[in-house]
Amino acid sequence: MNIKSSYLCALCFVLTLGACKTEDVDPIIKPDLGSLVSLSINTNTIAEAGGTVELTATLSKVSTATVEVKLAYSGKATFGNDYSSNVTLVIPAGSLTNATTVLAIQDTAKEGTEDIIIAIDSVTGGSEDGTQIIAVNIEDDDAPATVNLILNEILYDPSNTGLEGDANGDGVYAQAADEFIELVNNSTKAVDLSGYKIFDAGGLASGTPNHLIPNGTVIQPGKALVIFGGGTPTGTFGGATVQKSTSGDLNLNNAGDVLTIKDGADNVILTYDITPLSDNPNESYTRNPDLIGVFEQHQDNFPVKFSPGTKVNGAPF
């Protein structure tokens, strides 16, 4: 066989092999799950006396067909006795959302705060976006009120790069002064925090609070209290009540520390273990969504390193 014939045979073999490979490979087809359904609420605490929460079902994209969302209710509160709502939400074709109202029902039983757990039971015409679970608290008005205080954000390791760690806004970076905790009154009533004490692990062991909340500190429903380690806090901080540590140092270590808050009668109201978090985040940890979410580093989903006194997106409480 001459050289030309050999070349043509080789070329023919390559072309044939390539054609076979192309025919043997099936196209990758990703399954279309349709519109994904998520749930959201406009508040997570309501009064027993006719309090309401708006529950919204939202689609990830407009559907050309009707999407029916069946809801499942559980929790300590009893459907029909403690609250009422719809069990089905229908999102019409061409729409993205529909909402229903959860209405608290007044009674005279001393039940304390009761929770409602709302989940998606099934979806017709779409799919549940992961696992959707919403919690709502009904605040009893027949039993003595309890303080519902949420630690929403904590900065124990401010960045030491320039003024990136200047959380208190006074134009100076100082590790101890720029540390802060953000507490939110997650109830429908004002709370008087006069005489409350805040400890780190060392302070708790010695019985010496790092901060003693002054008399007259009343936090309105849904509003925040921000306590800095020191410095001269400068700014609006979303209209929050702002204080600085009475000891001059919250003394929050990057690891192996526990924050404890006690009321004036030395009852433990809240504890928070810093240990499970990373040692040197150089930014705050914040709940996302605010009040009900798990803690994440602030810049995981937002461009700033902290947001004392405001929600994670910078909006006021």
Q: Which of 115, 139, 163 is the last residue of a domain?
A: 139
Confidence tier at 6 by pLDDT (50, 70, 90): very low
Q: Residue with structure tokens 């937002």?
A: 302
pLDDT computed for residue 86 by the predictor: 97
Q: How far is CA 20 from the centre of its chain?
A: 54
d(C-alpha 54, C-alpha 42), whole Å = 6
pLDDT computed for residue 3 by the predictor: 40
Please indicate, yes or no, if residue 232 is contained in any of the structural domains: yes
Q: Which of 98, 114, 139 is the last residue of a domain?
A: 139
Instruction: Say yes or no: 247 and 280 in one domain.
Output: yes
**Residue 34 reports pLDDT greater than 90:** no
Q: What is the CATH number of the domain that holds 273?
A: 2.60.40.1260
Confidence tier at 35 by pLDDT (50, 70, 90): very high
Q: What is the CATH number of the domain that holds 121?
A: 2.60.40.2030
d(C-alpha 126, C-alpha 141), whole Å = 40
Please indicate, yes or no, if residue 228 is contained in any of the structural domains: yes
Confidence tier at 31 by pLDDT (50, 70, 90): very low
pLDDT computed for residue 247 by the predictor: 96
Helix, coil or strand: residue 22: helix
Q: What is the pLDDT of residues 210-269, one digit of tens each?
A: 999 999 999 999 999 999 999 999 999 999 999 999 999 999 998 889 999 999 999 999
Instruction: Tell me the mean pLDDT in the region 25-37.
Output: 62
Please indicate, yes or no, if residue 159 is contained in any of the structural domains: yes
Please indicate, yes or no, if residue 207 is contained in any of the structural domains: yes
pLDDT computed for residue 21 by the predictor: 44
Instruction: Say yes or no: 156 and 250 in one domain.
Output: yes
Average pLDDT, the chain: 89
Instruction: Say yes or no: 106 and 160 in one domain.
Output: no
Q: Which of 88, 106, 139 is the last residue of a domain?
A: 139
Please indicate, yes or no, if residue 15 is contained in any of the structural domains: no
Task: Give the number of C-alpha atoms closer than 13 A to the C-alpha of residue 302, restricted to the C-beta side.
Answer: 20
pLDDT computed for residue 182 by the predictor: 98
Number of neighbours of residue 83 by Cβ within 10 angstroms? 23
Contacts for 92-95: CB closer than 8 Å, 24+ residues apart: 92/66, 93/63, 93/64, 93/65, 93/66, 94/62, 94/63, 94/64, 95/59, 95/62
Angstrom distances, CA of residue 239 to CA of 117, 147, 244, 317:
31, 21, 16, 8
Instruction: Say yes or no: 128 and 155 in one domain.
Output: no
**Residue 8 reports pLDDT greater than 70:** no
Instruction: Say yes or no: 178 and 287 in one domain.
Output: yes
Instruction: Say yes or no: 68 and 201 in one domain.
Output: no
Q: Is the dihedral of CA 71, 74, 78, 83 positive or negative?
A: negative
pLDDT computed for residue 189 by the predictor: 87
Angstrom distances, CA of residue 39 to CA of 111, 118, 226:
27, 9, 30
Instruction: Tell me the mean pLDDT in the region 270-285.
Output: 91
Instruction: Say yes or no: 123 and 202 in one domain.
Output: no
Report field, pTM of the whole predicted structure over 0.75: no
Confidence tier at 33 by pLDDT (50, 70, 90): low
Q: How many domains does the chain have?
A: 2
Instruction: Say yes or no: 245 and 158 in one domain.
Output: yes
Domain span at 169: 149-300
pLDDT computed for residue 24 by the predictor: 54
Confidence tier at 166 by pLDDT (50, 70, 90): very high
Instruction: Say yes or no: 168 and 135 in one domain.
Output: no
Instruction: Say yes or no: 208 and 109 in one domain.
Output: no
Instruction: Say yes or no: 113 and 154 in one domain.
Output: no
Please indicate, yes or no, if residue 239 is contained in any of the structural domains: yes
Instruction: Say yes or no: 64 and 196 in one domain.
Output: no
Please indicate, yes or no, if residue 237 is contained in any of the structural domains: yes
Please indicate, yes or no, if residue 306 is contained in any of the structural domains: no
